[in-house]
């Protein structure tokens, strides 16, 4: 293929994609996706946050397509860039043409439901709308050339997944090597991370029955299936799919369910809070575990829900109000003296972590994380445990959880804590992995305080 000359993008293109434009309902989904992907490259903002802001006024099929394009490109970024390099002899592209090529190639090779000719035409038309001039011809040539050789490139993708999984499954090489050394079936984890995550709902047992909720969902056009795991009660968790935004459903607005992955309920099961108890949730926002604790206690007792991030506490308060819970007191960490608020019957620490267990939900984690962060996170996690230890009543229970699958943040943190605090006894620990448990990765440890001096 003849070399195409790339030229600087004119002001209009960058103006359309500038970070200050947070809502663009007049734009088409591919244009919104391109803008989000460019902003994601420029700023340390999560893809979920960018999508939430950009799609606030977008609904229906356009919303779904935009989400699928952004998340799909990020999940497959390494392979898409490898393919672009193969077709352009490794020449570095300017950011916006590179993004449009990724979008077009993702639709051609991996999306499936978009006709190939439509994927090409839309990419070329978008390049023209963004005033990319002769770059639209270059994009057209690359996409049509790949389309003619589609079967060959799909075969090469299959070979990459077998022989170079870091490229074929679009994960950082250091992470692939790390998991390969730990798990023989690590490829299953890579495959899991690249699957779109289903939506799960936890039923509010305080506000509705299984039968009533299922009947209301049927009226609202929600498809659902009861979801079962060994630690879940029948009828508590559901896999659901709605035609529009879940937030617009009356059943959601009435507080009859909470969107939550099943793996996050495991720590609440281990905590096993009882009505009337005094509970501390030390890293509470946005409230999935906190509200599940209140529900399990029949909303009878006291839950001090603490978080360091005041903005995240806003989401917790919204969830408390929507679910109509009275036992939770949300507080910013700087607003309260934990020593006077205790002692507590039970403490749960859902510690900030690397999120390596939930990469299919947080698709950009793989590109933000590096090896240097793991020991930093482990020190912060150990500090949280040390801070919580004296706040627990003798005989009280401490539950530590993460959504990480890394030993440094899980078993190693607990081991360090137990070496320092002899007055605690490990009762159980459990590591969940997608390969074994068919749910997102998580870790939960249950520790009993046996010595009042600890």
The residues near 112 (Cβ < 8 Å, ≥ 6 apart) are: none
Task: Note the CATH number of domain 199-259.
Answer: 3.30.70.1170
Torsion, Cα 127 129 134 140, to 10 degrees, reads 40
Tokens of 406: 């890394």
User: What's 265's DSSP letter?
Assistant: G
Q: In what order do the strands lie in the sheet with 278-281?
A: 328-332, 302-307, 278-281, 344-350, 392-402, 442-449, 424-432
State how far the alpha carbon of 219 is from the alpha carbons of 171, 215, 249, 256, in Å. 41, 6, 10, 14
Query: Which stretches does DSSP call E strand in 164-310?
Result: 199-203, 223-227, 237-241, 257-259, 278-281, 302-307
In angstroms, the first-to-last Cα distance of the chain is: 71
Catalytic site includes residue 403: yes
Which of 66, 146, 353, 403 is catalytic? The answer is 403
Q: Would you identify the CATH topology of the domain 11-168?
A: N-utilizing Substance Protein B Homolog; Chain A (1.10.940)
pLDDT of residue 339: 82
* pLDDT for the residue 89: 87
Range 262-449: architecture per CATH: 3-Layer(aba) Sandwich (3.40)
Every domain of the chain with CATH number 1.10.940.10 lies at 11-168
Nearest to 437 by CA among 188, 241, 258: 188
Per-residue pLDDT of the chain (454 residues; tens, 9 = 90+): 333 323 333 333 444 444 444 444 457 899 999 999 999 999 989 999 999 889 887 877 888 899 999 999 999 999 999 999 999 988 888 999 999 999 999 999 999 888 898 999 999 999 999 888 888 999 999 999 999 999 999 999 999 999 999 999 999 999 999 999 999 999 999 999 999 999 999 999 999 999 999 999 999 999 999 998 887 888 999 999 988 789 999 999 999 999 999 999 999 999 999 999 999 999 999 999 999 999 999 999 999 999 988 888 999 999 999 999 999 999 998 888 888 888 999 999 999 999 999 999 999 999 999 999 999 999 999 999 999 999 999 999 999 999 999 999 999 999 999 999 999 999 999 999 999 999 999 999 999 999 766 5
What burial class does residue 92 get, using C-beta atoms within 10 Å of its C-beta: 0-12 exposed, 13-18 middle, 19+ buried? Answer: exposed
Give start-end residues of each CATH 3.30.70.1170 domain in the chain: 199-259
The per-residue pLDDT for 80 is 97
What pLDDT, on a 0 to 100 scale, did the predictor assign at position 26?
A: 56
pLDDT in the model for residue 447: 97
Angle at 90 between CA 84 and CA 91, to 5 degrees: 95
Q: How far apart are CA 319 and CA 304, in angstroms?
A: 15
pLDDT at residue 297 in the model: 97
Please choose, from the candidates 46, 54, 186, 169, the residue with its C-alpha nearest in 3D space to the C-alpha of residue 110.
Answer: 169
Tokens of 127: 């390049």
Please, what's the largest Cα pairwise distance for the chain? 77
For the chain, give percent helix, strand, coil, nearest 5.
50, 15, 35
């Amino acid at each position: 293929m003849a070399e195409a000359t790339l030229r600087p993008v004119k002001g209009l293109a960058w103006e359309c994609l500038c970070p200050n434009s947070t809502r663009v309902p007049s734009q088409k989904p591919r244009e919104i996706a391109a803008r989000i992907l460019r902003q994601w490259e420029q700023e340390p903002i999560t893809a979920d946050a960018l999508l939430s802001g950009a799609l606030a006024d977008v609904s229906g099929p356009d919303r779904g397509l935009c989400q699928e394009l952004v998340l799909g490109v990020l999940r497959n970024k390494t392979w898409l860039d490898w393919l672009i390099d193969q077709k352009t002899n490794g020449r570095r592209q300017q950011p916006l043409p590179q993004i449009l090529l990724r979008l077009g190639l993702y639709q051609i090779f991996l999306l499936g439901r978009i006709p190939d000719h439509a994927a090409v035409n839309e990419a070329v038309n978008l390049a023209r709308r963004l005033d990319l001039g002769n770059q639209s011809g270059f994009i057209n040539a690359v996409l049509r050339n790949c389309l003619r050789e589609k079967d060959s490139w799909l075969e090469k993708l299959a070979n990459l997944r077998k022989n170079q999984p870091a490229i074929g499954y679009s994960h950082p090489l250091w992470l692939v090597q790390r998991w390969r050394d730990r798990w023989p079936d690590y490829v299953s984890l890579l495959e899991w991370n690249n699957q779109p995550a289903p939506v799960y709902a936890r039923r509010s047992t305080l506000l509705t029955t299984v039968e009533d909720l299922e009947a209301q969902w049927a009226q609202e056009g929600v498809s659902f299936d009861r979801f079962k795991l060994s630690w879940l009660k029948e009828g508590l968790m559901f896999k659901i799919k709605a035609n529009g935004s879940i937030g617009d459903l009356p059943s959601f607005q009435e507080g009859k369910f909470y969107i939550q992955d099943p793996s996050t309920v495991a720590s609440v099961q281990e905590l096993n809070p009882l009505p009337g108890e005094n509970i501390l949730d030390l890293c509470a926002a946005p409230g999935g575990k906190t509200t599940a604790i209140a529900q399990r206690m029949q909303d009878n007792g006291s839950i001090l829900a603490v978080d360091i991030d005041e903005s995240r506490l806003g989401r917790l308060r919204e969830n408390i109000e929507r679910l109509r819970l009275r036992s939770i007191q949300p507080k910013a960490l700087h607003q309260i003296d934990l020593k006077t608020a205790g002692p507590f019957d039970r403490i749960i620490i859902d510690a900030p972590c690397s999120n390596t267990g939930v990469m299919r939900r947080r698709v950009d984690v793989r590109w933000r994380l590096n090896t240097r962060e793991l020991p930093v996170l482990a020190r912060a996690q150990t500090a949280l445990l040390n801070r919580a230890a004296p706040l627990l009543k003798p005989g009280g229970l401490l539950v530590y959880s993460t959504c990480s699958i890394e030993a440094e943040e899980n078993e190693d943190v607990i081991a360090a804590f137990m070496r320092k605090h002899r007055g605690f006894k490990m009762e159980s620990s459990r590591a969940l992995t997608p390969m074994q448990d068919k749910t997102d990765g998580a870790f939960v440890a249950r520790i009993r305080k046996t010595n009042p001096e600890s």
